[in-house]
Amino acid sequence: MLALATIVAWSTQGAAAHAREATEDDAFASIVSVRQAYASGALTPEGLTQLFLDRIARIDKAGPTINAVLETNPDALAIARKHPKGALGGIPILLKDNIDTGDRMMTSAGSLALTIKPAPRDSEVAARLRKAGAVILGKTNLSEWANMRSNHATSGWTGRGGLTVNPYVLDRNACGSSAGSGAAVAAGLATAAIGSETDGSIICPASMTGLVGIKPTVGLVSRSGIIPISHSQDTAGPMARNVADAAAVLSAIAGSDARDPATVDADKHATDYTRFLDPNALRGKRIGVVRQLAGIEPNADRALEHTIALLKAQGATVVDNVEIPHLKELSEHEIDVLLYEFKHDIAAYLATRPDQPMRTLADLIAFNEREAAKEMPWFGQELFLAAQAKAGLDDPKYIGMRDRNKQLAGPEGIDAALAKDKLDALLAPSWGPAFVNDLVLGDHVVSGDPTVGGVSAPAAIAGYPSITLPIEFAHDLPVGVVFFGTKWSEPTLIAIAYGVEQKVKAFRRPTYLPTLPIR
């Protein structure tokens, strides 16, 4: 596989005159394939962008009604007509609606409270995508406030946009909080999308919509201009239909940013991640299976066993039943740390939005109370209230919990497990098949140990990277696995995931089943 940087820049002279009409196959084409079609003049960025806009109107807003896209960019076609250059030149990409774009689109985290005016400037992620030539196609629905409002929420529901559904089976959940990003890419509404994660919000929706999702090391991708939960755990990351596309998008958005101090070392590690797309990468790798995170859901366990067999067949050494020390202890204080940080971090973000009257978490709580009929018809805001009750970030209790969790999840957890058996990465089942939507009772999590917040928790709390990969389908629903490792180990994880992907190639276009048939 050639790195994107090696693809010859294409000339636009005469391309539009010879371009064919974009087809459904183009909607599901890889970035490399699209760039080659552009280079030959067979396809234009304007043609592909129009195809996605048409599909959003036909599939997302009518037809199956996925409800994944909150709004499309009114300037998308104008941008595409300029034939933007760069590693992602002319590639249409959707952004989760907690990522600022300094254009005519709103950035609201799905809340009606932030729909007065657009953000005044691009987030660093949006700016880097534009620099790489991407066409920012629109904003995706999510779990409101990235699932930080209520313990009884239904993933993928917002007051602004309603409920996003899973395109494979429409009465099933797309998981949260990047539900719209996952559902949109799975349904062929964009070439790729950006999600964000605090704990599971890229990994879970990517898994349940059959995608590759990369949750980067905290500090590799800037959070400036992204509506936050936690500066300890938040990060943006790519969601795509294959590893190569996810690696290409990560390459574009990674790097240091003066507005986010956590990224001070990012430029030392950010690279062209497509360089690690080696089909023989599994040979000689040592991968540990974390059985502590298995045994919860049988379909997920079967996908794990199939992956283990594939790894061995491709020359990897599999060390089974590796234990992450302190795993169950991680659940004790994670939510408390997030609540402390959310109260502080949301106020810091709101200070960057002079376009609207919200200034504090207390303002948001009051707004939800005033607009309860629109904002709280299904669930409340008990997490908002709990965060509001927390003290400041100088509270010794907060500092102690934060530092202890980081130490137990990282150096004494993932790093200790890797070092003990000289491992390159760890492997666990991802979530089981998507659960049924239930706005009355909220989410029904069917895989992952709830005592530690699911398979995403160790890497999320440590701030380490993880990547989920689809492996197979169970009852017409995708099921995958998660690889995770130490800080800055994205090259290794991408190489491993790519090696597995070459043998499974599990992505399948959705057929929008209304429900699962009872046989």
Q: Could you give the domains of the chain? A: 4-8+17-504 (3.90.1300.10)
Residue 12 is predicted with a pLDDT of 42
Determine the 3-state secondary structure of 93 from DSSP.
strand
Pairing of strands 192-197, 157-158: unpaired
Say whether 178 is catalytic.
no
Cis before 177? omega within 30: yes
Residue 517 is predicted with a pLDDT of 86
Residue 5 is predicted with a pLDDT of 42
Q: How far apart are CA 125 and CA 81, in angstroms?
A: 22
Q: At what angle do helices 361-370 and 334-350 cross, to 10 degrees?
A: 90
Say whether 96 is catalytic.
yes
Residue 328 is predicted with a pLDDT of 87
Single out the catalytic residue among 111, 177, 181, 196: 177
Residue 118 is predicted with a pLDDT of 97
Residue 485 CB neighbour total at 10 angstroms: 27
- Which 8-state DSSP code applies to residue 165? B
Single out the catalytic residue among 96, 139, 285, 406: 96
Of 482, 195, 149, the closest CA to residue 338 belongs to 149
Single out the catalytic residue among 150, 155, 196, 201: 201
pTM: 0.95
Say whether 177 is catalytic.
yes
Residue 445 is predicted with a pLDDT of 66
Task: Give 10-residue mean pLDDT values along the chain (519 residues).
Answer: 41 58 97 97 98 98 97 98 97 98 98 97 98 98 98 97 98 97 98 98 97 98 98 98 98 98 98 97 98 93 98 98 93 94 98 96 98 98 98 98 97 98 97 95 64 76 98 97 98 98 96 90
Pairing of strands 466-474, 212-215: antiparallel
Residue 276 is predicted with a pLDDT of 98
The tokens of 507 are what? 């992505």
